[in-house]
Structure 1
């Protein structure tokens, strides 16, 4: 741990003591957490503790505030910088910062003490390749309202790829639906947990600096739902009145899985020309109804011209593709043999 890192942290903490902002201090501590390598955590915390000045005590209190929830054993995992710091156990920030807030001005004790006031969820773009999970918070004294927004990549399976903390009015620029806070917070935790399991996942350079505070905020939301479901399919009420439509929609829902907001031209093609011939066993009525079911779903999903146009290009090929037995996958062939 370089002397420069310590001196910079103390200098910045001195400014934070003048600003008296819990939110600004927590965001700073999250960035500080992200900048420490695993082997630097213990020496850095010991240097702060040995110094004992108000700036060092503020740093310890802030680091504990943004890391305490994750260090308490959440499924989302321990912050990477803390995970390998065995000389302080598995809760290095919490242990080092214990009691520090009580030695500082009263505003310091508000760090981490927030109430969730609302939640929203929806597509980040027209086709839903990424979704946005948003949670709004306010400190216990009613001040510094703020919005946490986490970008969740659907194409890669639902992992967190970006995050930010903004003023609540930032929500005005997002096309998101109100949602249950426990479900949205659960999605945030699910997304970070998945990202922790995937080596080399492509994420925004800014994500590590927001990870600690994103976890801290999500973990204080009451009634967390894990894994968090998506009710998009259950809200669909536009099933065509056609023989085989229900059968067709069940296959579409199976294909959509837990990422139903992702519906792009490429996914239309994958479903109609690849997944159905390879995986699905359908009656003639189901095959005949499928194009109209997919059109109805596409309208429900935003009625984007590119998506609807792709349906028109791919749907006429479906009967011939479903009849081509060479396209069937192993699971489909086994299932067909069992039926004969």
Structure 2
């Protein structure tokens, strides 16, 4: 947790629902949670919904502060954030539908709403709202007093508040409207959740905010409060917001949806990364090998008895830090340790029994070494080690033993030629018959990576289908056999996609259906129906799979 992660109860963190300070988000009583509507399909909005939102927009006519006006509009635009539609895009259907409704209404409240959407909406929403607003202005509809300020947002300083563990960054970026109405956007990036932006809020009491975080940084040896280049801040925020938007069920704070549009707008106000500087360190093979060698030559690694096994284990530790932790192999924290042992390793890596036994001890040595290199306080290193030893027993139990899937070790080379342990369950689902003898066919010799062998395995999985007809068979037999081949073609496409994990939503949908008690063959056919209906449109396929 970053040192200023709690919103102070006497800050004026304005909430669009009018409830004033406190409330949701950090310090407001509710931590991160999945957006409640993220997986709920919703029907197209009726005009009554747009009319209700336009009535709510009347409050914009009584507002004098441009920041308050933007927060009201952001709250309205956040009404549908996280929703998935049966067909179409929620931002387009709701947002552009609301713009069209306001344009037709032609009232002062409609113009105020359009002005706000022109500033905070998506590119398409903004363009449509600006066009409609200009038409209403030409027709003589009066503009609210704050309207001129919305296009005059200026970015100023950026800072970051974090702990030495580095689990999250709390970015504080200050803005004003041409030097007036200064305010700060506080945004929390959670690196243990894939770098997701999980919370954001606004305050205008900058003196109190900065006094608070500086006091915490001065009193807590684990806390850091530092300036950040606004260009880098924009890049991090863009990356984090994209991660949040892409999540099927983003784990965000309760009030995040209401700030989503404002966050998007403030990111655009920050200077762009025109030089395309990388946001995170890049570790190639040589740099990783050098890091491993430094560790293995350290005093902390001296007590590891099997240097070969230790080297194999430390390679996985470094890969995790480089590939899954944004190029930070030396970062240690209790949460990162638990995620590595209990989530990443069991899903991604096949460890030999010797490596499974050695991994906690190698990780403990790595923790001591990385903590020393990173100059962490001794108590911080002890806290990480405590989590490590507490996780050792669950690690042994949670690590995926292929035998728990009913898979013989001899089958693994055929199912996992690429070593991707995460692919094991979906590939087993696609090819359950890999051992034994059928007639004169030895299944142990069939390789599901080879197209011809894959076809044989799929045919054995469909014993009820007719065999290819003998020469001279009647038309009915030939027709039935042709239809059987077309059916196998569809299963072949599905099996190939499951093997490759393309798209990931395919296996996710299969798991949901299996968890609901559906039989394997029924699940296969429902997935095939989704593939057929999508007709090669990947976006349509993902939507269809999400609905299963």
Q: TM-score range by the shorter chain?
A: 0.5 to 0.7
Alpha carbons 1:130, 1:154 under 8 Å: kept: yes
For the residues of structure 2 that align with 1:332 and 1:309, how far apart are their CA atoms? 36
* Residues 1:7 and 2:44 aligned together: no
User: What is the rounded CA distance, in whole Å, between the counterparts of 1:55 and 1:209 in structure 2?
Assistant: 20
Aligned to 1:57: 111
SS of alignment partner, residue 155 of structure 1: helix
Q: Contact (CA 8 Å) 2:60, 2:113: kept in 1 or not?
A: yes
Contact 1:134–1:184 under 8 Å retained in 2: no
Partner of 1:97: 133
Within-5 A mapping of 1:188-203: 188-203=237-252
Counterpart for residue 204 of structure 1: 253
Report whether the alignment pairs 1:229 with 2:266. Answer: no
Q: 141, 148, 153: which is aligned to 1:114?
A: 153
| 1:150 positional shift | 1.6
Structure 1 position 224, deviation (Å): 2.7
Give the unaligned 5+ runs of structure 2: 1-46, 81-89, 214-222, 288-293, 302-310, 353-358, 393-411, 420-548
Q: CA 1:146–1:255 in structure 2 vs 1: closer, same or farther (change >3 Å)?
A: same
Report the counterpart of residue 326 of structure 1 in structure 2.
none
Within the candidate set 187, 195, 202, 2:236 is matched to 187
Deviation at 1:173, TM superposition (A): 3.4
Q: Distance between the aligned counterparts of 2:171 and 2:336, measured in 1?
A: 22
2:184 is matched with: 147
Distance 1:249 1:97 in 2: 60
- Deviation of 1:221 after TM superposition, in Å, equals 1.3
TM-score normalised by structure 1 residue count: 0.67
Deviation at 1:255, TM superposition (A): 2.1
Q: 1:97 to 1:133 in 2, by over 3 A?
A: farther
TM-superposition CA deviations, 1:244-265 (whole Å, max 9, x none):
98x8988654322463497332
- State the number of aligned residues: 300
Q: 1:96 to 1:147 in 2, by over 3 A?
A: same
Q: Whose radius of gyration is greater, 1 or 2?
A: 2
Distance 2:266 2:148 in 1: 16
The answer to whether the 8 A contact 2:314-2:363 is kept is yes
What residue is the counterpart of 2:193 in the other structure? 156
CA drift of 1:44 comes to: 3.5
**CA displacement, residues 59-80 of structure 1 (integer Å, 9 cap, x when unaligned):** 211121112xx416xxxxxxxx
Separation in 2, partners of 1:304, 1:217:
37
Q: d(CA) in 2 for partners of 1:204 and 1:188?
A: 16
What SS does the corresponding residue of 1:144 show, helix, strand or coil? strand
In the aligned structure 2, how far is the partner of 1:203 from the partner of 1:172?
27
| Cα displacement (A) at 1:171 | 3.9
The structural deviation recorded for 1:95 is 3.4
Q: Note closer, same or farther for the CA distance 1:4–1:275 as it changes in structure 2 (3 Å cut).
A: closer
* Equivalent residue number for residue 242 of structure 1: 298
| 1:173 and 2:222 matched | no
SS at match of 1:223: coil
Q: For residue 263 of structure 1, give the secondary structure of its aligned residue in structure 2.
A: coil
**Deviation string for 1:251-298 (max 9, x for gaps)?**
6543224634973325335657985995799xxxxx999755522423
Q: Provide TM-score, normalisation by structure 2.
A: 0.44
Task: Give runs of aligned pairs for residues 294-333 of structure 1, distance below 5 A.
Answer: 294-298=367-371, 300=374, 303=380, 305-310=382-387
Mapped to 2, the partners of 1:280 and 1:172 lie a distance apart of 49
Aligned to 2:69: 25
- Residues 206 and 105 from structure 1, CA distance in 2 versus in 1: closer, same or farther, beyond 3 angstroms? closer
Change (3 A) 1:15 1:212: same
* Superposed displacement of residue 185, structure 1: 1.3
- How far does residue 332 in structure 1 lie from its aligned partner after superposition? 11
- State the partner residue of 2:170: 132
Aligned to 1:79: none
CA shift digits 1:216-249 (9 cap, x unpaired): 1111211337786246999xxxx8883898x898
Alignment match, 1:322: none
1:232/1:100 CA distance change after superposition, 3 Å: farther
Q: Give the conservation status (yes or no) of the 8 Å contact 1:30–1:211.
A: yes
| Mapped contact 1:126–1:304 kept (Cα < 8 A) | no
The answer to whether the Cα contact below 8 Å between 2:186 and 2:200 also exists between their aligned partners in 1 is: yes
Change (3 A) 1:312 1:105: closer
User: What CA RMSD, in Å, does the superposition of the two structures yield over aligned residues?
Assistant: 4.8
Of the structure 1 ranges 289-298 and 191-200, higher mean CA displacement relative to structure 2 is found in 289-298
C-alpha distance in 2, partners of 1:151/1:145?
20
Higher RCO structure, 1 or 2 (CA under 8 Å, sep 6+): 1
For each residue in 1:62-101, what CA deviation from the matched residue of structure 2 results, as whole angstroms up to 9, or x when unmatched?
121112xx416xxxxxxxxx5xxxxxxx943343334768
Separation in structure 1 between the aligned mates of residue 390 and residue 109 of structure 2, nearest angstrom: 64
